[in-house]
Each structure stands twice: as C-alpha cells, then as structure tokens.
Amino acid sequence: MENSANQTTARIEVRDLTMAYGSFVIQRDLTFTVKKGDIFIIMGGSGCGKSTLLRHLVGLKEPAKGKVFYDNVSFWDLEPAGKDAVMRRFGVLFQGGALWSSMTLAENVALPLAEYTDLNPGDIRELVSVKLALVGLAGFEEFYPSEISGGMCKRAGLARAMALDPDILFFDEPSAGLDPISARRLDELILELRDSLGTTVVVVTHELASIFAIGNNSVFLDAETRTMTAVGDPNKLLAESTDPKIRSFLTRGEQ
C-alpha cells in the first residue's frame, strides 16, 4: 500500500472520553488511537453507545469529559472556524443515508463540491457521475431519494460522503440493509479507498463478516460495564482474547 510509510502517525486520538446524555453516562474512560490509513471498527452489542461514540468523533456531540484530537489538535478547544476546517476533512455516512430528500442524487453529491471547491458546474457534474458510478449508481443522477431503495440511498450517501475526497470517512452501520453482494462490494470499496487515496476509515458495525474482512484495528464497547474492554486488530482479538464477552460477540455466541 502506498501509504504504509505513514501508518504510524495518529489521525484521531481519543483520551479519557466520557459520553453522557445529561447525567446518564453511556461510556466512560475511552482511550484509543486511530492511525492514518487504519480501518478502525467500533463494535459492541446493541445499545452500548457505538453510534453515540461516532457522533462524538464527527464533532456533533461534545464529550462530557475527556478530549478528542485530530492530528494532535484538540477538537473541542478550537474556535468555531477551526472546528469547521477540521470537520470539512470528514466524510460521514449516516445510518439511513441521510440524503436531503428534496434534492436529486446528483444535487446531493454536488452540494459539498459546489460549496467548497471552485469547480464549474460542468466539472462538478462529471465528478458527481464518477462518484455515483463508484458506488454502483451510474445513471441514477436525476432520481430523488424517495424513488430509490434503502440500500441505494445508503450507497448514494456514501457517494456524498466521498465527494470532497475526505481524509477520514466515518460509517454508521454501512452494510445494514444491503444485500450480501452489495455489502461485499461496499467492503471492497472501503478497502480500495484506503489503499488508493490513503483515507482513514472509522466504521461502526456489528456485521462480523465485515469486521474480519476490513478491520485492522478496533475498540469493543461493553454495555454493562459502560467502558471499552478491548482494543486491537479484530482477527487477533478473536485468536487471543480470553474475555468471554468478546469471544461470544466475535463468534456469534458459539463459544
């Protein structure tokens, strides 16, 4: 991979993070590092706070305690303009795609390009077509989100997340609701983006096939103890972990 030389640098660093809604603590004392070029998996059972952690990482929710660093800059200590600059380097794929329903797919993907680049409308149209083709939606430019299936919405959401060639891509349950072949194609696309563009990827998922196929680092959140119980390559966790909860999760409860 072209970027293996840089793989040691920390892209995201989470330090002593406590997440809470009001006084209700969801997870506490989370500390982990996502390196450049990692495909980092956030896993755990339902309701353990995976999506909430993602909302913290993409800058939508302020930590109750602790810090989140991007390239060694503490995000929540920045001025609003600085925050915007950091967030512009993110691409986020939300659970349902979160496409703007009053715009066509092409307009959805074109919006970030029109806002943040100086490209002319013709160039934007071409870029949009390429991005849609990458997610397997060539020819669907003029469709509205309500006219296509949920899985297609999700893929279009990915095209929008990739519009600005982000440094970090965040995925919330990318393969939920996709057929197995589309899910696999999506996994391949994620790997390809990492390998060719050097994108760092953070994925919230509990799809075991995906976890083992693409993840090279991960954090396991436990709902009962409300903190992380493991960190590392999921394949290694499967081979080496002795924690019964993690073993049971990674083997679908068979061990």
Partner 1 sequence: MNISSSRDQDNTFVVRLGGDWNIAHGLPSTEDIQKQIASTPHPERVVFDTRELGGWDSSLLTFLSKLIKFCREKSIPVSNQGLPGGLARLIDLSAAVPEKKDARKESKRPPFLSRVGEATLEAGKSAGEMVAFIGEAFLALGKLLRGKARFRRSDLFLLIQECGAQALPIVSLVSVLVGLILAFVGAVQLRLFGAQIYVADLVGIGMAREMGAMMTAIVMAGRTGAAFAAQLGTMQVNEEIDALKTLGISPMEFLVLPRLLALVLMLPLLCLYADLMGILGGGLIGVGMLNLSVAQYYHETVAALNLTQFLLGLIKAGVFGVLVALSGCLRGMQCGRSASAVGEAATSSVVTAIVSIIVSDALLTVIYDRMGV
Give residues in contact with partner 1 (CB under 8 A): 2, 100-102, 117-119, 123, 126-127, 129-131, 133-134, 136-146, 162, 164-165, 185, 188-189, 192, 195-197
How many angstroms separate the CA atoms of 127 and 119, rounded? Answer: 10
Complex with partner 1: residue 14 or 190, whichever CB lies closer: 190
Complex with partner 1: residue 69 or 143, whichever CB lies closer: 143
Cα distances (angstroms) measured from residue 216 to each of 41, 42, 88, 251: 8, 11, 25, 18
How many angstroms separate the CA atoms of 193 and 169, rounded? Answer: 10
Complex with partner 1: residue 49 or 91, whichever CB lies closer: 91
Question: How far apart are CB 245 and partner 1 at their closest, in Å?
Answer: 34
How many angstroms separate the CA atoms of 120 and 239, rounded? Answer: 52
Question: How far apart are CB 102 and partner 1 at their closest, in Å?
Answer: 4
DSSP string, 167-199: SEEEEESTTTTS-HHHHHHHHHHHHHHHHHH--
Question: How far apart are CB 226 and partner 1 at their closest, in Å?
Answer: 30
Complex with partner 1: residue 102 or 251, whichever CB lies closer: 102
- Count the Cβ atoms, other than its own, within 10 Å of residue 232: 16
Question: How far apart are CB 204 and partner 1 at their closest, in Å?
Answer: 22
Complex with partner 1: residue 197 or 223, whichever CB lies closer: 197
Question: How far apart are CB 81 and partner 1 at their closest, in Å?
Answer: 18
Tell which residue, 11, 157, 167, 156, has the closest CA to residue 88: 167
